[in-house]
Amino acid sequence: MAQSSQTQQAPPPKRGREEKQRERRREERAARSPREPERLFPDPKTGLTAAQATRLLEQGMGNEAVGSTAKSTGQIIRENTLTFFNLVFVVLAALLILAGDFKDMMFLGIALVNSLIGIIQQLRSRATLEKLSLISETRVKVVRDGQLGTVPVHKLVREDIVELGAGDQIPADGPVMSGQVTVNEALITGEADPITKDPGDELLSGSFVVSGKCRARLDRVGAASYASRLSLEAKADQGVAKSEMMKSLDKLIRFIGFALIPIGAALFYNELMVQGNEFSDAVPAVVAALIGMIPEGLYLLTSVALAVSVMRLAQKQTLVHELSAVETLAHVDVLCVDKTGTVTQPEMSVQEIVPLDEDRCPAGRVEEIFNAYYRAIDADNDTARAMAQRFSKSSLWQVERTVPFTSANKWSAVVFKAYGAYVVGAPEFIMKARYADLQHMVTPYQEQGCRVLLLAKCGAPPTMEGGITGTVEPLALAVISNPIRAEAPKTFQYFAQQGVTVKVISGDNPSTVSAVAVQAGIAGGDKFVDAATLKEPADYARAVRDYNVFGRVTPDQKRKLVKALQKAGHTVAMTGDGVNDVLALKDADCGIAMASGAEAAAQVAQVVLLDSNFASMPQVVEEGRRVINNIQRAAALYLVKNIMSLFLSLVTLFAGFPYPFVPIQLTLISALTIGAPSFVLALEPNHEIVKGRFMTNVLRRALPGGLANVVLMILIELFTFAFAFERVTLSTLATVIMGEVGLLVLYYISKPLDWKRWTLLGAMTAAFAVAVLGFGWMFELVPLDFQAGLVILVFLMLTPSVIFVFERAFEWGSAALALIAQRRSGGQPKRAAPKRAARR
């Protein structure tokens, strides 16, 4: 017994050394990695406590957004200093130091100033946008300590209980705890059909609530949420989306970057071996050629101009989510607007209640039904809020269930325990084939621009899936007035003058929408189409071509109309404020949302009007046109020099000519014909609609001057060879003529000329003359003898004619190409603006 007992109590055998080491490593890993907080599973009625929420936030369980587009100060400094061309400038400066030529290093100072301007402007722009974003920050209803309050979306934590209603965007993933909602997941899955979510069903971040109300628990927040994972994957696959203009500039810069090294090496060989120059003489010529090919301030000017434009819009209470939106706004030629909240005021009021049968359902009974109905249903849209405000008395009727309103069904329903089922909504959607019985009563109100609702009793309880079945007994009409905005006619008149077609797309009755459009002064407002008649793609194509007013449009039809307009070659801006506008806002080239509307609309749009004032739209469009038109002008000035330097470098290589410039001479020409004018022109108002593609437009303006420069420089090289001029004389002749070409290009680009542009042109001409005649020694220019003087006079008189010939040739060529393209496309205009990047 003792033996046995002793045997049973013997210690277990010792573990091996390897097992101990594995256990120790596991413990070390556990100590190093923070443990995930234990799940709390709060009651939906009380939610988390404030202390629990604070602790979870400190433990990294907050709903912080991933992949913020805001740049840090370090990023801004790096992007403006550590550039490829700045590296080239440093290398070229080092070569000039080795050659002992310090005077020609002035370009380095200009590059430094450009970088400083870029840094300062982008920091100012970021500060302005941060202030504006703070004001417009999305807040979410959350239950904490048993109280319903709101917190910023990034202050939500895992297991928070949030309350969601129509128009809300779902901030994180988690199950429905109570209530019922219909959600649209098209923004994240592409599936446009609404999905009903009951307790236990999962909600995905990035989707939005179409109707209903619920409380949900947030189980996956921040980077763990579905929308955040999609966003990170998209950025990893595609990188940061850029506009067509920035992509064009990237391609240009890559081309120049690849060309610089071989051309530079060949020019250096030409100067040393072919021309027989010393190292100290060869370096300045090569450096001048390479500097001439670099558009040193173009990319910076473009980035800064867009950033400043965003800042200017921010000062006008307009928040821009994407820089590319500024470029798109400049191309917009069709503006789609919703009726309610855009053409009309967002507030509605009940104008009249019309009982349809006083004997069976008198006015008092109608009043009682409406009071019970709007005590039961959630007032989650402007119409329902107007009705709920009018019928706000208490009711003892007990509710069995409700069917929320959706833009697709156009009605809502309430089933009462002892009184049956009632439905309220658009008369034609409720009555269907029997609508003709009521049409004579409804139409007069609709022709006044009023919205008309029908109250009816249903023989069978309606459902979301099955709709209205059984008998339908119409009881009363509710007439709702929605006056147009006082500033709307003036705003639409502006767009008509600017060549922008306005199309009203509404879920309301076509007659009502048409009456409102006529009152607002929208062209073609008296002609309308019922979207219920649009079935095939050809129907949509024909409708967008022939009509400007669309009624009874479902959310999916709104996006189909937008796509039909895009397919027809138009650049489409879409304004909206409701949950029914979200899909169209996403698909439009530029989505513009009202901040006072649905949260989901503001989140998906590229531009948000924080004051929700449609009258500010002209300023928004004008700003887009101003900045893009002026960037195109400035870019053309830069590329004149680049085209000349590239072609002239190739000519000198093959012909064995010396390169005619030194760096400081190109610095003078750049400062007076490119730098200062482009800065002034960038601030000019310019509200013309932007047509065509960015690089095509820029090259069209730059090539006449660039090619004229090449022809004139070749002629000067030939005269130098014929008359045996010295190289300093060649440089003087070339600098004066290239300066004249630059000023003439400035003249053509500045058209139409007003007094300010004449002043600019005169000031630059005077400054160039003073620099050449008074300070020529600073720029290595020499006095000309009689023979060289005659040559310069000939070229000064010849230059305007050469540029005129090139300008006319390109005008004729552009017109011929446009005519050929139009004939090939059957007279349909070619789509000009870049397609917007989808926001997830």
Active-site positions read 338
> H helices of 332-451, where?
363-376, 382-390, 427-431, 436-447
Buried b (16+ CB within 10 A) or exposed e, 638-673: bbbbbbbbbbbbebbbeeebbbbbbbbbbbbbbbbb
User: What is the spatial distance between Cα 577 and Cα 436, in angstroms, rounded to a whole number?
Assistant: 32
Residue 438 one-letter amino acid: L
Please, are residues 356 and 475 in contact by the beta-carbon 8 Å criterion?
A: yes
Strand (E) or helix (H) holding 763: helix 755-774
Please, are residues 473 and 520 in contact by the beta-carbon 8 Å criterion?
A: no
Tokens of 831: 């789509």
User: What is the spatial distance between Cα 812 and Cα 831, in angstroms, rounded to a whole number?
Assistant: 22
Question: DSSP labels for 32-90?
Answer: HSPPPPPP----TTT-B-HHHHHHHHHTT-B---SS--PPPHHHHHHHHHS-HHHHHHH
User: What is the spatial distance between Cα 829 and Cα 818, in angstroms, rounded to a whole number?
Assistant: 10
β-bridge partners, 164: 214
User: What is the spatial distance between Cα 93 and Cα 296, in angstroms, rounded to a whole number?
Assistant: 14
Handedness of CA 581, 584, 585, 590 (dihedral sign): negative
Instruction: Tell me which residue of 536, 555, 574 sits closest to 325, measured CA to CA.
Output: 574
User: What is the spatial distance between Cα 107 and Cα 663, in angstroms, rounded to a whole number?
Assistant: 8
CA angle 561, 566, 567 (to 5 degrees): 95
Residue 564 one-letter amino acid: A
Edge-to-edge order in the sheet of strand 399-403: 349-355, 472-481, 451-458, 420-425, 411-416, 399-403
SS3 label, residue 490: helix
Tokens of 339: 């009726």
Strand (E) or helix (H) holding 116: helix 106-135
User: What is the spatial distance between Cα 353 and Cα 246, in angstroms, rounded to a whole number?
Assistant: 57
β-bridge partners, 607: 320, 592
User: What is the spatial distance between Cα 628 and Cα 305, in angstroms, rounded to a whole number?
Assistant: 9
CA angle 620, 626, 627 (to 5 degrees): 95
SS3 label, residue 146: coil
User: What is the spatial distance between Cα 742 and Cα 747, in angstroms, rounded to a whole number?
Assistant: 9
> H helices of 593-726, where?
599-604, 617-655, 663-670, 676-682, 694-723
Number of neighbouring beta carbons within 10 Å of residue 559: 22
Tokens of 385: 């809020």
Please, are residues 741 and 789 in contact by the beta-carbon 8 Å criterion?
A: no
User: What is the spatial distance between Cα 727 and Cα 662, in angstroms, rounded to a whole number?
Assistant: 11
CA angle 482, 501, 410 (to 5 degrees): 40
Tokens of 66: 């991933």
Q: Is 226 exposed, middle or buried (0-12, 13-18, 19+ CB in 10 A)?
A: buried
Length of the chain: 840
